[in-house]
Amino acid sequence: MKKYTEVPITEALEKNYMPYAMSVIVSRALPEIDGFKPAHRKLLYTMYKMGLLNGARTKSANIVGQTMKLNPHGDAAIYETMVRLARGNESLLVPFVDSKGNFGKVYSRDMAYAAARYTEAKLSEICSEVFGDIDCDAVDFVDNYDGTMKEPVLLPTTFPNILVSSNLGIAVGMACSICGFDLGEVCRTAIELIRDPEHDIMSTLIAPDFPTGGELIYDKEQLRAIYESGRGSFQVRAKWEYVKKDNLIEITEIPYTTTIEAIIGKVTELVKAGKVREISDMRDESGLSGLKLTIDLKRGADPEKLMQKLMRLTPLTDSFSCNFNILIGGTPNVLGVRAIFDEWTAWRTECVRRRIHFDLQKKKARLHLLRGLKKILLDIDKAIAIIRSTEEDSEVIPNLMINFGIDKTQAEFIAEIKLRNINKEHIMKRLAETQELEEEIGRLEDTLADRRKVQSIIISELESVISRFPTTRHTEIVYKTEIDDYQPEEHVEDYAVNIFLTRDGYFKKITPLSLRMGGEHKLKDGDAMRVALDASNKDEIIFITNMHQAYKCRLHEFEDGKASVLGDYLPQKLGMDEGEAPIYMLLPGDYSGNLIFIFENGKTAKVALSAYETKSNRKKLTGAYCDKYKLVAVFHTTPDAELALYSGNRLLIFNTALLTPKTTRGTQGVNTMNVKKNHTVSSACLLALAEVADPARYRARQLPSSGAVLRDEDLPEKQISLD
């Protein structure tokens, strides 16, 4: 019998899940200060070791195969990494892979890249700034996954690549979303911050930039908040042009966060729903010349107003959410732009210092050898005689060390000198080299000891990047004040309508003329009218449902109908949940007044209508009213009104002014009618519809109240219930 050991779930998670989570965070999803994730770093370093920085292109399949020595996650994942880094995919402002062949496009979901056996690649020229210090001990190296070779922990980039290359990643419990910035602006900002830590970043790092272009809607305070905290969002919109000759619109740049398929799909949806009527056709004409979406307009359509509408209703305007989450020393940190520059400068300073130290040690070692040679040169004939007179090869080095007072390294260097190099010219050159090395070593030691000299080296390297790799912004900047926002109400025709809601959930919007000429309403068998209102086509409407939810929409979203048709079936039209049905409708107008909810246990909730007002365009509001008791009736009162509540053979009339309005939609209300045992409030209506001969008999001055027994002449006709 197999035995099982019980382990607390917290302990199991800590032992099994936490290592996985940390592996994803540290070794896969988040970039480090060099701007690369591990997959990027392994691929680029492999290409560097293959000699692809200065060599010719090779098949991508060859690169993928070689990269698997460092990255064991499979060829598909490695190739996808290469695709994103490639010039042809247009994902990065500064691509690191010089590609040949079809590498797909970042702005297209369906434009697939070719297989690795068909494409070729090498490192782009900018990689000289990535690998320039790789062999100078500027960064640490570690063993690969099987310990057969070494790989760099970071790549010693001479520019702040972390802010130049866009990065998106989802780890366990955290994510990162870093927008790209123009290379020239980033380098110039880094230089100014090194010179003056209080430099105003926004004066040189104007705004984010994307390879897909578009127009960034500039909000200075919004961007300043992102720069300071590393979190926030901004909007980018498409660029378009109206071709009057052909009566069409050409879209040539779109936001980085969307695709041409998403845009076409949304526009198609709007056309089918009748919300956009100016378009006769839309097609994707992207090709070798770049992205192009063409919209054919109907005669008389206003291109400006159409694009305002599409910018609001489709991904032609999209948001980029920033989350500058970066690994610093193996720990995730959400940093503002200034903090990122500070971290990069500190890291780059260490890289430069390590490189200088590496050069210094090499020169000291060379000087050490030359000083030994200098001692030998004082009596070169003696050295030759010692070597010739030594019988055993192993004794040559010790004899030189004893006779000239030099160490083993110096002796080995001298013993290996060729005969041809003991001429006067060679000897004089080595002596001159000794003096040059002493001067160079002194200069390097001074540099290491002076922080400002190290910083000047970083600045000169940044200035070199600016001059060698000049850039121009892809994404233009437009100010909010320059944009005419689309206001749907301005484009909606306004006219009087009559609206009707039936018990079975059918809704009709009918013009008064059509209503007069249409005769009787067509209803399903057993259905009846529940609510009828006079309205305007521009009005907002709210539907209350039996599942404690409210749906908000505009009347112009419904087609004009006739009395002779059933109308729109609201559960289907509004996408309600299964079994959900509308029980009441109202026109909120300016959201004044109150909603009165009558429950069968005698409680009444008075909720201010302003509680249903939302700043966003939410269609669905959950928790529209209390879900603890069964609802009997709903009323919209502006101003307060008198209501009649029926329970068994009793009637209560009260004014809603006796109730205090609440701002919480889910309020349980207060006791209004004291119902007798085994009785409930069966129905309710406005007093004007109750047809009571003597209202004073049933009217309550204080609540709660039991009401009064109904007289025969006041017995109500059968009311329409909410069931």
Q: Return the pLDDT at 720.
A: 52
Q: Return the pLDDT at 676.
A: 87
Please report, for the domain that includes residue 625, its CATH number.
Answer: 2.120.10.90
Measured between alpha carbons, how far is 178 from 327 in angstroms, rounded to an integer? 13
Q: Return the pLDDT at 485.
A: 65
Q: What's the mean per-residue pLDDT of the chain? A: 90
Nearest residue to 309 (alpha-carbon basis) of 299, 317, 321 = 317
Q: Which residues contact 432 (CB under 8 A, 6 or more apart)?
A: none
Residue 12 maps to a domain: no
Contact predicate 568/582, CB 8 Å: no
> Are 63 and 150 contained in the same domain?
yes
Please report, for the domain that includes residue 415, its CATH number.
Answer: 1.10.268.10
> Are 606 and 501 contained in the same domain?
yes
Nearest residue to 625 (alpha-carbon basis) of 617, 614, 637, 633 = 633
> Are 458 and 520 contained in the same domain?
no
Contact predicate 505/581, CB 8 Å: yes
Contact predicate 75/67, CB 8 Å: no
Segment 470-492 shows an average pLDDT of 77
Q: How far is CA 226 from CA 177, 325, 335, 696, in A?
A: 12, 12, 10, 65
Residue 475 maps to a domain: no
Q: Return the pLDDT at 486.
A: 58
Asked if omega into 639 is within 30° of 0 (cis), the reply is: yes
Has 486 been annotated as catalytic?
no
Residue 321 maps to a domain: no
Whether the per-residue pLDDT at 191 is higher than 90: the answer is: yes
Please report, for the domain that includes residue 140, its CATH number.
Answer: 3.90.199.10
Residue 351 maps to a domain: yes
Residue 28 maps to a domain: no
Segment 84-90 shows an average pLDDT of 95
> Are 455 and 507 contained in the same domain?
no
> Are 375 and 266 contained in the same domain?
no
> Could you give the angle at the alpha carbon of 455 between the alpha carbons of 453 and 457, nearest 5°?
75
How many C-beta neighbours within 10 Å does residue 628 have? 11
- Rounded to two decimals, the pTM is 0.72
Is the pLDDT higher at 406 or at 374? 406
Tally of domains in the chain: 4
Whether the per-residue pLDDT at 1 is higher than 60: the answer is: no
Domain termination site, one of 156, 185, 216: 156
Q: Return the pLDDT at 5.
A: 79
Q: Position of tokens 């041809």?
A: 420
> Are 540 and 440 contained in the same domain?
no
Contact predicate 156/130, CB 8 Å: yes
Measured between alpha carbons, how far is 324 from 337 in angstroms, rounded to an integer? 8
> Are 679 and 556 contained in the same domain?
yes
- Tens-place pLDDT, residues 193-230: 999 999 999 999 999 999 999 999 999 999 999 999 99
Confidence of residue 717 (pLDDT cuts 50, 70, 90): low
Q: Return the pLDDT at 188.
A: 97
> Are 385 and 522 contained in the same domain?
no
From 20, 118, 145, 479, the catalytic residue: 118
Strand pairing report for 568-569 and 549-554: unpaired
> Are 442 and 558 contained in the same domain?
no
Residue 279 maps to a domain: yes
Which structural domain range is residue 580 located in?
Answer: 488-714
> Are 494 and 464 contained in the same domain?
no
Is the pLDDT higher at 6 or at 94? 94
Sheet holding 231-237, edge to edge: 167-170, 175-178, 317-323, 231-237, 215-218, 476-479
Measured between alpha carbons, how far is 34 from 182 in angstroms, rounded to an integer? 16
Please report, for the domain that includes residue 259, its CATH number.
Answer: 3.30.1360.40
Q: Return the pLDDT at 489.
A: 54
> Are 505 and 416 contained in the same domain?
no
How many C-beta neighbours within 10 Å does residue 426 have? 13
- Tens-place pLDDT, residues 17-76: 888 888 888 778 899 999 999 999 999 999 999 999 998 999 999 999 999 999 988 899
Confidence of residue 699 (pLDDT cuts 50, 70, 90): very high
Segment 250-272 shows an average pLDDT of 94
Domain termination site, one of 299, 315, 331: 315
- Tens-place pLDDT, residues 115-133: 999 999 999 999 999 999 9
> Are 498 and 416 contained in the same domain?
no
Whether the per-residue pLDDT at 413 is higher than 90: the answer is: no
Measured between alpha carbons, how far is 655 from 190 in angstroms, rounded to an integer? 71
Q: Return the pLDDT at 29.
A: 86
Confidence of residue 428 (pLDDT cuts 50, 70, 90): confident
Q: Return the pLDDT at 639.
A: 87
> Could you give the angle at the alpha carbon of 466 between the alpha carbons of 321 and 252, nearest 5°?
50
Domain termination site, one of 156, 186, 211: 156
- Tens-place pLDDT, residues 376-395: 877 788 888 888 888 888 88
Residue 370 maps to a domain: yes
Q: Which residues contact 221 (CB under 8 A, 6 or more apart)?
A: none
Residue 632 maps to a domain: yes
Segment 538-548 shows an average pLDDT of 93
Q: Return the pLDDT at 693.
A: 87
Burial classification of residue 414, based on how many CB atoms lie within 10 Å of its CB (0-12 exposed, 13-18 middle, 19 or more buried) = buried
- Tens-place pLDDT, residues 586-631: 999 999 999 999 999 999 999 999 999 987 667 889 999 999 999 9
